[in-house]
Every structure is written in C-alpha cells, then in structure tokens.
Amino acid sequence: MRRRAATSVFGMAIALVASILMPTAAEAAETLLSQGKPATASSIEAAGFEAGKAVDGNSSTRWASLEGHDPEWIQVDLGSAQAISRVKLTWEAAYAKAYQVRISTDGSTWTNAFSTTTGNGGTDDLTVSGTARYVRINGTARGTTYGYSLFEFQVYGGDGGPPPGGGDAAVPFGGHTIPYAAGMLRPSGTQSALDASVVDYYKRWKTAFVRQNCGNGWYQVISPDADHPYVAEAQGYGMVIAATMAGADPDAKKIFDGLVKWKLDHPSSINPDLLAAEQDVNCRSVNGGDGATDGDMDVAYGLLLADRQWGSAGTYNYKQLAIRHINAIKKDEINPSTNLLKLGDWTSSGDQYYYISRTSDWMVDHFRAFRKATGDTAWDTIRNAHQTSIANLQAGFAASTGLLPDFVINTNTSPRPASGQVLEDPNDGQFWWNACRTPWRIGDDAVTSADSRSLAAARKLNSWIKSKTGGNPNQIAMGYRLNGTQISSGSEPAFFAPFAVAAMTDAGSQAWLDALWNKMLGTPIGTDSYYSASIQLQVMITVTHNHWVP
C-alpha cells in the first residue's frame, strides 16, 4: 500500500520498565521453583558435591566444581517454561568473581538475564525477568584458587505458560527471552533505556492511530495518509504491534481482540478467510472488498504471535484463525507457477497483474513462521523462491546498491523491475514508497535466523547506504533509482528507519546504527502519517531485540 540484592544493569533495566508497566515482584506472590528439581553441572569436585545439592533446600550441603578450572556451570530444569523474577545464590567460600545467569526455554538456545565481573561471594539476590525452563549459572572467572561452590541455587517466579483465555503474556515485551542470532548489533545504551524509548513511542503511536470507531467491539488502526481511512495493511501492523507489546501495555489483548473482530467482520469477498483491503468512514468494505497480500501476511503472523502470547482457549482460537488465514494466503495470494506472492486474492490467471509481485510483501520470517505453524513444506519452497528472487534482483539490477524495486514484473519468465507504472506510480520500478520497507523486512529474518542469504542481502543494502550518505542519516533521501540516484529530497521515517535493521547485521556499523537510532528518537510522530510512524515503531522493536518469530 503506497502512502504518501545484587543487581545488574540488565536487572535494573527490566525492573525499570516493569515498575512502570507491570506489578513488581514485591507486589506479586513469588514461588520457589527450583527446589528438588533436576540439576546438572559441568563437573563436580567429588562424590557428595553433586549439582542436586544446591537445590535440595539444605543449607549445609553444596555443589562444588573441579578446582582451578574455568569456565564451569550448574543448571536447573524447572520442568516447564516459567516466568522467573528472582535468582538467589548462596556461595560457599569458592565464589564466582565473573558469572552470568543464563535462561533458556529449550536447553539449547540461551540468553543472559544477568552478568557481572565484580562478584564478591556471600549471597547474591538477583532481580531478573524472563521466561525459562532452564536456568544456568555460568562461571567464567573464579574468585579464589579453588573452583565454584554453591550452598543454595534458588529460582523464584511463576508459571510462564499462556493461561487459557488470560491476559498475561508468555513473551512479555522487554523480557528478551528469545535471543537474536549471534553478533547482531543493538543501539548503544542500557537495555532499559532502549526498551523505555520503544514503549514511549508506542504510546504516542497508539494515541495517534488506534481507534474504536463504528462500535461493534471493533478496534482499528486508522490510516489518514492512505486512500481510505482503514486499510488491511494498517490492521496487520496493528495486530503484530499489539501482540508484541503485550506485557508493556495492559490493554494489548483487548486491542488485539478488537482487531480480530474487525478482521472477522470484514472478510474478503473472494476468500472469506482473508481480510478485505479497504473500508470507508462508515467502516464498510469498498472497492470490491477483496484482499491485499501485505495486510494478510501480517494478520496471519499477528495471530501466531497472539497464540504464543495468550494461548487459543479464550474468546478467539488464534491458532485456528491463523492456520485458516495462512492456508487462504497459499490458495489465493501465492502464484502456483512461480511460488511468489501475488498482489492480492483479486488477481487471477490471464489478467495483467498475475505475474507481478510487490517486494515489500516478501516477509521471509513470516514464511518460516507459517511453515512451523502448519507443518506444510510448501512454505519452504515459497520462502526459497522469494530469497532467490531477492538475490537475483540485487545481482542483476542493483549490483552496486542492493536496492529492490516496488514491483517486479514477468515473474513467470524473466523477472525484472517494473518499467514505469504498473499499479501505483511511475516509480513502480524504483526503490520507492513500497520497497522502502525491504531493508527492514529482509533484516528481520537476518537478525533472527542468521540465514546466509538474508544476511548477504541486508549487508549489501547497509554497505551502500552507509557509503552513499557518509554515515549521516540526514542524507537518506525519499526514494532512489536502483542505481542509487536520488528521486526526491527530504527526510521520512519510512525511508531512513528501515536501514537501521540492515545496520544490525554488520559488526562495523555500531556508530551508523547509533546515528540512525538517534535520528528516529529525534523525529516526532506525524499524526497524519500512520505509514511512516508504524514502520518506525516496528523498526524500533526490532533494533532493540524485541522482535521474535513465533
């Protein structure tokens, strides 16, 4: 759609956000989760010092590692994913000077919930936040010549699984329990400050664009800069944002359910499991009431996020709705001969639009989520077709820039950028108001999956724009020809913000990422520009490591 006890920095970060948006640990009853649970360790000093001694509730028994060796670890299996709030460590004389509290939901992918290099033994009572089944103390520097030894290793919290129909989030914003690929950058500063900036921007975005118009229990995201006051693209953005901000916004589930009701009450006239693309001021579907692929992709993805956040036993069965929506996309918005996305369910074999695709719809991480949710291997084929097309377009038509065009034509024979206007604008074949989103969309997959093709595509874009602008985000123009020639002057978040996600993939781009982040922070929300504000908000979510794939 074209528009115009001991604490750490991380612990204090999460506590700051939580103190504003959620009950504090002191306000909620805590449960000791670790006592008597299975525990393992990298080593033991001798018989009688097994890992289980640290979780047996007996302060006179202890775990001890081999002496004189780094690193060493001990971990406890809580039995199921739990929301954890506190870790209490009672050290014997053999304490850790440097260690991390690491958490995982599967025992293989870990993220740090706490880290220190200045441990001094005694008792460390740590405020942490996250959802985990496994909690590990990873010692990297001993405080003595001995090993590591704990009398007690206690984990506190509560059930982190999505309660049936409940409002508590399983993956709360700011929890950072689903890590990115190794080496992905984030803006400089404390995690708490980064998260707080996103929450602040979200609140302003919500005030500007989230509405409850026309009654019927509906919520909508308004689009004052689009052709109609309500468009599917905006509702898709709203669903993804609401589900992601759960835990930060107590109304997130209520808003999401209102958007779901809007979707269900505005079905596409062609495939009723899809969302009608446009509605008028009276909330009635217009222009044929058919579907638009960009909105449908995010609606399906948002429903998967909601299923992970809240479960599907409430008012709406999110998982069932998601799978129906995903299958409808496959049936009516995927071209079966090219495996590329069509513009919507309204184009069919024989019409002039059947072999045209919009690059900003190519959401690779969404394809991965669809494959996981449905078990349908066709989504692997579809994902591969889009990634191959990205690589071919970059190599064949934008070798020096990596830029993608708004629209690709002749997808059945020799795919190439549109020549002039094919749907919306004379610049349909350039990096314009649709393709401006592609550095974000490609980057979302790169930072979460570490896929080599997504990384290569994102890094190509990042290298060119950083060089083109001399590292000054103020020089990012509004649109480029694929050879890098500027189309329009001015500065717009829809164009500069997405490059921040591409910047995350390059270890040498920290200063550039920081400049882009500061540019975003310094740009006020235009209440007449839902498009740019919605893109920037989702970019901010990604670059602060708050984006996740269900």
Measure Cα distances from 202 to 189, 411, 439, 524 in Å.
19, 38, 21, 12
Residue 534 and residue 221 in contact, taking contact as beta carbons nearer than 8 Å = yes
User: Comparing C-alpha atoms, which of 532, 433, 434, 534 is closest to residue 478?
Assistant: 433
The token duo for 377 is 């291997």
SS3 content of the chain, % helix, strand, coil (to 5): 35, 20, 45
Cβ density class 408-442: b for 16+ within 10 Å, e for less: bbebeeebbbbeeebbbbebbbbbbbbbbbbbbbb
Map residue 77 onto helix, strand or coil. strand
Q: How far is 222 from 230, CA to CA, in rounded Å?
A: 5
Active-site residue, from 168, 257, 294, 296: 294
Q: How far is 92 from 73, CA to CA, in rounded Å?
A: 15
Q: How far is 176 from 9, CA to CA, in rounded Å?
A: 14
Residue 49's CB is within 10 A of a number of other CB atoms, namely: 20
| Known catalytic residue at 50 | no
Beta-bridge partner residues of 91: 150
The token duo for 466 is 């950083």
Residue 373 and residue 326 in contact, taking contact as beta carbons nearer than 8 Å = yes
User: Comparing C-alpha atoms, which of 463, 531, 467 is closest to residue 497?
Assistant: 531
The token duo for 380 is 């692997």
| Known catalytic residue at 233 | yes
Phi-psi group of 422: left, alpha or beta (phi > 0 → left; psi -120 to 50 → alpha; rest → beta)? alpha
Beta strands, E only, 94-235 = 96-104, 111-116, 123-142, 149-159, 210-211, 220-221, 230-231
Q: How far is 421 from 341, CA to CA, in rounded Å?
A: 19
The token duo for 522 is 């310094």
Active-site residue, from 124, 233, 257, 307: 233
Residue 298 and residue 239 in contact, taking contact as beta carbons nearer than 8 Å = yes
Residue 312 and residue 318 in contact, taking contact as beta carbons nearer than 8 Å = yes
Strands 210-211 and 278-279: unpaired
Residue 383 and residue 367 in contact, taking contact as beta carbons nearer than 8 Å = yes
Measure Cα distances from 488 to 197, 384, 495, 497 in Å.
30, 33, 11, 17
Place of tokens 């970060």: 13
Residues designated catalytic? 233, 294
